[in-house]
Structure formats: structure tokens, C-alpha cells
């Protein structure tokens, strides 16, 4: 009869080997200690190896065991005790170093992850530089920073993503997304940047450095970042005299309007149809956001917009009829559609929000000039509260994306050069951007580098729906997964995507007559199981880049950048206000001084106001 035993439990042979090695080590330490004591008093240690052990039988006269002149017992045993203690410390340290226990080193060099050769071939600085001429035709010898972003270090090699990659970052709240990725990407972007957020932290950390690159603007209709000297006013009806622009703008405004109701896609489609007609009417008659808000309050007020579409020769055929059909439809259906319209424009009831989308003469924002001048646009808003402006932020992003696509089509090789970086931070906490799944799929080929920062896959499914969230995830050529996730189903999916590896298991069997035999078997186990994946150390992430095996990367905090460490803060370069800026009365947002306390970064503005960044 045999009894299998897992090799992870030490066998009797291993135990006996440990005992023998321990005894030999003790004997050696006693000899070295005694010999050192003899040398200290000028003696010559000539005793054989067991002299140190024999000295234990002559505690009061250790010289008798050595047959040599030796110090007194106090000095002899003190030196010997120090040597033995040092040997024990070294043995314990070696065991902790070489015996397999979960550690940072083990996570960095997990079996089954990308090898140094694979990393160098796929995402090293040299690999990124090889594609430089294709990605940036205007540069003769582009450097890695001109065509990519440094995301971390894997197996001692820098890992980069290119500006052609669409990136999804998954990380729970306070997992370090901003500290290790978002701020670094904004600072390193070679061209224009569109950065979204629900908080002003990233503005304070990057605005000074981005001012040195080009114009800077902040679209903050809810004043979440306080008053800003680079506040921007954007026309909600800009370009909506063109049918396609009006349709895209309406899709952004109506994003999420069908959530939580039966036949949500139908009602959202009806809301979009009404909104695009209202946007078209306002643009053709040079009306502003105030008229849009008035029309949205009740179907009775829409007759003004219908009249504009009926009489203006530039209005597309049928749009007035479609809007009139909604206004004169069955009261229950009409009220349901108009509820979506009213919700989409509800933020305009806040005077501050209305002012932010009502530019005066000379204040119109020109996205085409802004992109060409490598500007940086910060979009701040939330999807909660009475003045929630998430739909306006989504509509603004759609306007920028549409402009970028037209510029790319007119550019050599049909791509923007330099590329525009869409840093969609906290996009899951804003309105669901309708074009995001498509943008992730095809944006990289036109010079639109998209980063979608999400807290979980469940958040994406909640915002975009099951199919659109799957499309978004599949279209991302680079996926960066941080620790802290807790959704069991998502963790299982991520473990499956990361993949399996071969593992050799040893087993020992003992027969009835006492003989032993050992055998091995091959099995497939996850490269990184859900437990280690959830508990990834701070600053560590898993990188899934195209077809390369997973790589565990160690990321760099923006506070450890050379320019930050050497100067304390980026230098401020005042380049003035670009076209479309409406300077608001208030205080500057230039960085004053920066302090770091554990997981909180305090940034004191020039005005004396302190912003706190909690690791996100």
C-alpha cells in the first residue's frame, strides 16, 4: 500500500540533511570562534576541527582543548558567542532569502511572465523607437518619449506603450492610478492632451509643466476646481449647423439617458433625435444655451425651434417634421421623451454651468487651433449633484474627437502628428462616452491615443452595457491591472486572461516495506491567481500588451520624476491665454509648494489654498 505525499512537505531525507548541515555549521562556528580568540592574544590556532567542541568540556580552561595559549574563559566564550550568533543570523537570513515565500521579488519574476528577451522585443525603448518614423513621420530620429509612454520596469527593463496603443487601466479606488500613471502620461504627452477628472488634483500637479508645452484651459462648469485664470467657455451649439455634428453632440448629451428603464435604447434614441433638432435650430438661428434650456423645459416651448427648422433653407429635410412629431405625439410618449431631453440639459439650470457654455464675442473655443498648438484641456465634472455636468463633459469630448478625426484625415499618412492624448481619468464616474468603444478600436491608427481609467470591469458594464464594455476591453491593445480588486467574477476573468503556466509537482510514496519513491507530474496552474493579483504591492501592476505574455511592472510615482525631485515642482511658464479662454476673476492655480505625507500629497496653490491628493 502506498501513500502519496506532496513534495512541499519536507521528507525525512531532507530533515536529516538539515540536521547534518546544522551540526556541521555549529562545529565550524565553534572552531572559528575559538581560533579568533586565540589570534586576538597572539596565539596560533593549530587545533583540529573538533577543538571548538572539546572546549565545551573545558569551560573554565579552553586552552586545554586547544593545547595552545588562549585567553581567559570570559574573553574566549564572548568571542565564540559572537561568532556563533553571527552564523545563526546568516543562516536565518539565507533561509528567508532562498526559501519560497511570497515577496516582492517573487511577484516581479513570476514563472510564466514575459522573459527579458520578449520584453526587449515588444516594449523596450529600442522596440518603441523602431516604430518612430511610422508613428511620427515629421521626426527624422524620434526618441522613445516622442512616440510612447514609460509605464514601468519589468525584469530590470523599461517598459513602454506607444502612442498607437489604446490603454485600459483597471485599479480600485486608492490603488495609485493617478500617482503612477495618469500624471506621468499627462506630463509626457508629446502633443495635445484632453484630461478628464472628477477632482482638481491632476490640474495642480501638471498645469505648470503643460504651460511650457502650449496653451492650457480648464473646462469646469461646476467650479469643482475653484476659480481659475484659465477658465474656458465652450459653445454648446458650436458647429451644429452641420447635421453630423448635431447628431454627435446630441449623442454625447443623451449618454446614459435610457439607463434603468425598459427599452432604454429606444428612449435614448428618441431623446437624441429631439436634441439634435434643437441643437440644429439653435445653431442656424444663432441662439445660445439659454434658449436650448428654455426649449427643454416643456414640449410647448419647442414650436419656436420647429419654426426655425421649417423656414431656414439650410435645415435638413425632415428634421422639423421629426421634432414636430415628437411634440404632437401621444402625451405619455411625448412626456417620456421630453423627460430625457430635460434631464440631458438639466445642468443648464445652474447659472454657473450655463455661463460656461455661453461664450461672449471673441471667447469662442477653437478646438482645431488648440490641437495644432499642442494645448492641454482639463475637463472637470461629476455625474452627481443638482448641477451635474457629466453630459456636457461627454458632449465636449465628442466635439474634440470629431475635430481630431477631421484633422487626422487631412494630415500626411492620415494620422495626427504629434498625436493627441485622451486621458479619460474617472471616465466611469462621468457620463458614458458613446464613442469610447470605437475610439479604443480605431483611434490609435489616426493619432488619437486613448487611455481609459476604470475602477473595475463591473463599472464599465454598468456604464456602457455588457456588449459595449466587452468591445472596449477587447479593443484595448494594452491593459494595465493594479491590485485591490474585489469583484469575484471579474477577478476570475482577469486570472483567465493573464493565462496559465506549466507546473511540475513532485510526490513521494512509501510502500509497506518502508521503501520510498518519488514521481513528478505536469499540470497547468494560473500564472497569477486571484489572491496575489488582489494583493499586488503598491506601485506594481500587470501589463498585458498585445500578444506578449503578461509582465509584472514596477511603476514610478510622478513625485519621483527627476524634474520634480531636483526642483521641488515644475517650472511655471506663462504663455498667455489661447483663443477661446475666458479668464475668470479669482485666484491663480499655479503651484506654490508641494509636500508629501505618506499616502497624501499636499499641493499649496499660489493663492494659499491647499489641494490634497490621496493615492487613487
pLDDT per residue as tens digits for the range 295-306: 999 888 999 999
| Predicted local confidence at residue 607, as pLDDT | 37
Which string of DSSP letters, residue by residue, matches 560-608? GSHHHHHHSSPPP----PPTTB-PPSS----EEEEEEETTEEEEEETTS
pLDDT(277) > 50: yes
Is 48's pLDDT higher than 70?
Answer: no
- Kindly report the CATH number assigned to the domain that includes residue 463: 3.40.50.300
Same domain, 335 and 371: no
Tell me if 124 is assigned to some domain: no
Q: Are residues 170 and 269 in the same domain?
A: no
Average pLDDT over residues 380-392: 77
- Domain endpoint, select from 522, 543, 560: 560
Question: Is the pLDDT assigned to residue 222 strictly greater than 80?
Answer: yes
In the prediction, which pLDDT does 101 show? Answer: 46
Helix (H) or strand (E) holding 167: strand 167-170
Residues 478 and 551 occupy one common structural domain: yes
Taking CA atoms, 570 is separated from 379, 390, 394, 462, in Å, by: 21, 30, 30, 38
586 lies in a domain? Answer: no
Which set of grid coordinates corresponds to residue 143?
A: 526618441
DSSP letter (8 states) at residue 352: H
613 in a structural domain = no
What's the residue count for the chain? 616
Q: Are residues 316 and 373 in the same domain?
A: no
Shared domain for 398 and 544, answered yes or no, is: yes
Answer yes or no: is pLDDT of 603 > 50.
no
Residue 581 lies in a domain: no
User: Which cell numbers hold the place of 541?
Assistant: 501592476
Residues 315 and 331 grouped into a single domain: yes
The percentage of residues in the chain with a pLDDT greater than 90, rounded to a whole number, is 50
| Cβ–Cβ < 8 Å for 365, 200 | no
In degrees, rounded to 5, the angle at the alpha carbon of residue 307 between the alpha carbons of residues 304 and 311 is 145
Task: Tell me: do 202 and 260 sit in the same domain.
Answer: no
Does a structural domain hold residue 34? yes
Percent of the chain with pLDDT over 70: 82
Residue holding cell 520634480? Answer: 564
Residue 399 has a pLDDT of: 93
Mean pLDDT of 35-51: 71
- Which of 95-99, 224-228, 555-559 shows the lowest mean pLDDT across its residues? 95-99
Within its chain, how far is the Cα of 32 from the centroid? Answer: 55
* Rounded CA separation 115/492 (Å): 24
pLDDT of residue 569: 47
DSSP per position, 452-485:
EEES-HHHHHHHH-HHHHHHHHHH-SEEEEES--
Q: Do residues 397 and 505 share a domain?
A: yes
Q: How many domains does the chain have?
A: 3
In a domain, 526, yes or no: yes
On whether both 379 and 507 belong to a single domain, the answer is yes
What is d(CA 580, CA 234) in angstroms, rounded to the nearest whole number?
8
d(CA 7, CA 90): 26
Is residue 420 domain-resident?
yes
Contact assessment for residue 443 and residue 450, using Cβ atoms and an 8 Å cutoff: yes
pLDDT greater than 60 at residue 415 = yes
Residue among 382, 11, 411, 402 at smallest CA distance from 220: 382
Alpha carbon 593 to chain centroid, angstroms: 25
* Per-residue pLDDT tens over the stretch 471-514: 999 999 999 999 999 889 999 999 999 999 988 888 888 877 77
The C-alpha atoms of residue 539 and residue 108 are separated, in whole angstroms, by: 11
What residue numbers bound the domain in which 299 lies?
243-352
- Res 604: pLDDT: 41
Half-sphere exposure of 514 (CA within 13 A, CB side): 1
Residue 454 domain-assigned?
yes
Tell me how far apart the 2 most distant CA atoms of the chain are, in Å. Answer: 121
**pLDDT (mean) for 386-409:** 88
Q: Which of 517, 541, 560 is the last residue of a domain?
A: 560
Question: Is there a single domain that holds both residue 404 and residue 318?
Answer: no
Residues 309 and 422 in one domain: no
Calpha distance 156→114 (Å, rounded): 12
Boundary-marking domain end, from 297, 332, 352: 352
* Least trusted range by pLDDT, from 68-77, 410-419, 517-526: 68-77
Residues 41 and 140 in one domain: no
Amino acid at each position: 500500500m502506498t501513500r502519496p505525499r506532496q513534495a512541499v512537505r519536507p521528507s525525512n531525507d531532507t530533515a536529516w540533511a538539515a540536521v547534518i548541515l546544522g551540526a556541521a555549521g555549529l562545529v565550524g562556528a565553534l572552531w572559528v570562534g575559538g581560533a579568533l580568540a586565540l589570534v586576538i592574544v597572539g596565539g596560533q590556532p593549530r587545533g583540529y576541527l573538533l577543538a571548538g567542541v572539546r572546549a565545551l568540556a573545558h569551560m573554565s580552561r579552553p586552552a586545554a582543548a586547544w593545547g595552545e595559549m588562549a585567553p581567559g574563559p570570559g574573553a574566549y566564550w564572548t568571542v565564540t558567542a559572537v561568532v556563533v550568533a553571527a552564523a545563526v543570523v546568516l543562516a536565518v537570513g539565507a533561509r528567508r532569502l532562498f526559501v519560497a515565500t511570497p515577496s516582492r521579488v517573487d511577484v516581479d519574476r513570476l514563472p510564466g511572465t514575459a522573459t527579458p528577451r520578449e520584453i526587449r522585443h515588444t516594449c523596450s525603448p529600442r522596440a518603441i523607437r523602431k516604430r518612430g518614423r511610422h508613428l511620427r513621420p515629421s521626426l527624422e530620429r524620434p526618441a522613445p518619449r516622442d512616440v510612447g509612454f514609460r509605464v514601468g520596469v519589468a525584469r530590470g527593463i523599461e517598459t513602454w506603450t506607444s502612442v498607437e496603443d489604446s490603454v485600459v487601466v483597471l485599479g480600485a479606488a486608492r490603488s495609485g492610478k493617478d500617482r503612477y500613471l495618469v500624471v506621468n502620461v499627462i506630463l509626457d504627452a508629446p502633443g495635445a492632451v484632453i484630461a478628464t477628472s472628477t477632482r482638481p488634483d491632476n490640474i495642480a500637479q501638471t498645469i505648470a509643466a503643460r504651460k511650457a508645452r502650449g496653451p492650457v484651459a480648464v473646462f469646469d462648469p461646476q467650479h469643482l476646481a475653484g476659480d481659475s485664470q484659465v477658465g474656458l467657455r465652450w459653445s454648446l451649439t458650436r458647429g451644429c449647423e452641420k447635421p453630423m455634428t448635431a447628431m454627435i453632440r446630441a449623442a454625447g448629451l443623451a449618454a446614459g439617458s435610457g439607463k434603468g428603464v425598459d427599452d432604454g435604447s429606444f428612449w435614448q434614441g428618441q431623446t437624441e433625435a429631439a436634441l439634435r433638432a434643437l441643437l440644429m435650430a439653435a445653431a442656424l438661428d444663432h441662439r445660445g444655451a439659454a434658449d436650448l434650456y428654455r426649449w427643454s423645459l416643456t414640449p410647448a416651448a419647442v414650436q419656436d425651434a420647429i419654426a426655425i427648422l421649417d423656414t431656414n433653407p439650410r435645415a435638413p429635410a425632415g428634421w422639423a417634421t421629426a421634432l414636430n412629431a415628437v411634440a404632437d405625439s401621444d402625451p405619455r410618449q411625448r412626456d417620456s421623451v421630453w423627460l430625457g431631453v430635460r434631464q440631458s440639459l438639466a445642468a443648464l439650470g445652474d447659472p454657473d454651468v450655463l455661463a460656461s457654455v455661453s461664450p461672449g464675442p471673441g471667447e469662442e473655443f477653437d478646438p482645431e487651433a488648440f490641437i495644432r498648438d499642442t494645448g492641454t484641456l482639463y475637463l472637470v465634472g461629476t455625474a452627481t449633484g443638482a448641477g451635474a455636468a457629466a453630459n456636457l463633459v461627454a458632449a465636449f469630448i465628442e466635439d474634440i474627437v470629431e475635430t481630431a478625426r477631421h484633422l487626422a484625415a487631412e494630415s500626411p499618412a492620415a494620422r495626427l502628428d504629434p498625436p493627441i492624448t485622451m486621458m479619460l481619468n474617472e471616465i466611469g464616474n462621468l457620463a458614458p462616452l458613446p464613442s469610447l468603444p470605437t475610439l479604443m478600436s480605431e483611434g490609435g491608427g489616426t493619432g488619437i491615443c486613448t487611455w481609459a481609467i476604470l475602477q473595475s470591469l463591473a463599472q464599465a458594464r454598468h456604464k456602457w452595457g455588457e456588449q459595449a464594455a466587452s468591445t472596449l476591453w477587447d479593443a484595448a491593445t494594452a491593459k494595465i491591472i493594479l491590485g485591490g480588486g474585489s469583484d469575484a467574477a471579474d477577478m476570475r476573468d482577469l486570472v483567465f486572461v493573464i493565462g496559465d503556466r506549466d507546473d511540475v509537482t513532485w510526490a513521494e510514496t512509501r510502500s509497506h516495506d518502508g521503501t520510498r519513491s518519488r514521481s513528478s507530474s505536469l499540470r497547468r496552474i494560473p500564472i497569477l491567481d486571484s489572491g496575489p493579483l488582489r494583493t499586488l504591492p503598491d506601485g506594481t501592476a500587470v501589463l498585458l500588451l498585445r500578444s506578449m505574455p503578461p509582465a509584472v511592472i514596477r511603476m514610478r510615482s510622478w513625485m519621483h520624476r527627476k524634474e520634480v525631485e531636483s526642483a521641488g515642482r515644475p517650472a511655471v511658464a506663462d504663455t498667455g491665454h489661447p483663443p477661446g479662454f475666458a479668464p475668470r476673476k479669482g485666484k491663480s492655480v499655479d503651484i506654490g509648494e508641494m509636500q508629501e505625507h505618506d499616502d497624501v500629497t499636499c499641493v499649496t496653490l499660489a493663492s494659499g489654498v491647499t489641494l490634497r491628493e490621496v493615492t487613487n
